[in-house]
Amino acid sequence: MAFAPLSPAVLYCRRKWRHDEDERLGERLGWPSQPRPDGPLAWLHGASVGESLALLPLIERLSARGFAILVSTGTSSAAAVIAPRLPAGALHQFLPLDVPQFLARFLDHWQPNLALVADCEIWPNLFLAIKRRGIPLLLINARISQRSFRRWRWFPHVIAALFDAVDLCLAQSEADAERFALLGVRHVKVAGNLRYDVIAPPADRQSLASFAARVGSRPVWVAASTHRGEEEILLTAHQMWAQMVPDLLTVIVPRRAARGAAIAALAASRGLVAARRSTETDDFLPEIYVADTTGELGLFYRLGGIVFLGKSLAEAPGGGQNPIEAAKLGCAILHGPHVGNFSEVYSALDSARGAVTVADADTIARVVAILLADAGKLRLMARAASETVKGLGGACDRIMSAIEPHIAQLSIESPDWQP
């Protein structure tokens, strides 16, 4: 309750810095913007883009079993990416702020029969509200870092009370499962990572054909999900290699599209010609192309062949971005040394030689030059990446098997519903 008076300020900040939609701000206060569909409802929550996209295979399976589907996210960027990829009839809402009265409105309206929370989301008031209503709470694709684990160990009674609301925890790895168990979760199983089961991101056929025609035979590589401070290094790498290949096209896809103007200005300050996808007015493709739009990574992965994944060059908590989609689309992957957030998949990709670590501009330029000059080496690296992530799949099957008792219980309670 004490947080409620601060809600207007929080919403103002979200609107200003996270570009939340004004007409949907009421959802942050628990006011629904759509009616509840009939029948048993499965509610799945993924905080941001990666977490919500990982839910897609499970959403499809639950929808096929006869559940109405509600998906909530915490960020507007996740909403923009996930909503177009939901199956017919599935609904999206923003998760309310973690305030009891807001959550009460949300839960009273939607009345979910199952609550499935992905990744490492722990919201105290939400967990307690779900428990009070007797809704089965399942943590799926669950992970908890060593750092978070140590922090929660300082508050054993608090975390034990929160995890008492959890009926089942399906962890990504043995290490995650052990940490959850030590923090007091009663039923923990290892199911693997749902991200390996997500289909490759789509691309609009017309946009793909149009952009491919514009690129033509030019050598091209993509720097995806870049963060502040990395573009300087990537532009330096471009300048090193472009001295030998004047028609080199470097596509930069920033993690936050709003940074597009700043990146284009940075390129211009170095004497480079840059264009922004969000503002371009003709078909001319300069040497630096800033793809400052949302939901188009599938297009650029299909065109690039060589992809650098950002948030990995500078040491920071939770380094690295998800390389699975790029690998599924047959890209050779470059990444910096700081990939702790996705250490398992990067380790597997590196071991299979589907990815390589690059630490500075000189190394990036050298590796890109080698791959652009040797099509056979590029194909071998891309195939290794694709086959590695394919072999790591299967989490969706294991999760569906683990939650089957909850589905069976619902069918008993709702005799008119046949899953």
Among 413, 408, 398, CA closest to 65: 408
DSSP state of 36: P
E-state strands within 78-125: 91-94, 114-118
Q: Of 51, 60, 287, 296, which one is the catalytic site residue?
A: 51
- Enter the tokens of residue 333: 């992957």
Q: Is 51 a catalytic residue?
A: yes
DSSP state of 56: H
280 has which bridge partners?
A: none
Q: At what angle do helices 375-391 and 361-373 cross, to 10 degrees?
A: 100
Alpha-carbon Rg for the chain, nearest whole angstrom, is 22
Pairing of strands 274-276, 249-254: unpaired
- Enter the tokens of residue 129: 């509200």
The residues, any chain, with a CB within 8 Å of residue 146's CB and separated by 6 or more, are 179
- Enter the tokens of residue 79: 């909403």
Q: Where are the alpha helices (DSSP H) in 329-394?
A: 343-351, 361-373, 375-391
Q: At what angle do helices 297-304 and 205-215 cross, to 10 degrees?
A: 40
Classify the phi-psi angles of 377: left when phi > 0, otherwise alpha if psi is within -120 to 50, otherwise beta.
Answer: alpha
- Enter the tokens of residue 47: 């905080």
- Enter the tokens of residue 134: 């007797």
The SS3 of residue 3 is coil
| CB environment 283-294: b (16+ within 10 A), e (fewer) | eebebbbbbbbb
- Enter the tokens of residue 351: 């071991």
The count of other CB atoms within 10 Å of the CB of residue 332 is 29
Tracing tokens 């050598």 back to the chain, one arrives at 219
Task: Give the H/E segment covering residue 399.
Answer: helix 395-413
Sign of the dihedral through C-alpha 345, 348, 354, 357: positive
Q: Which residues are catalytic?
A: 51
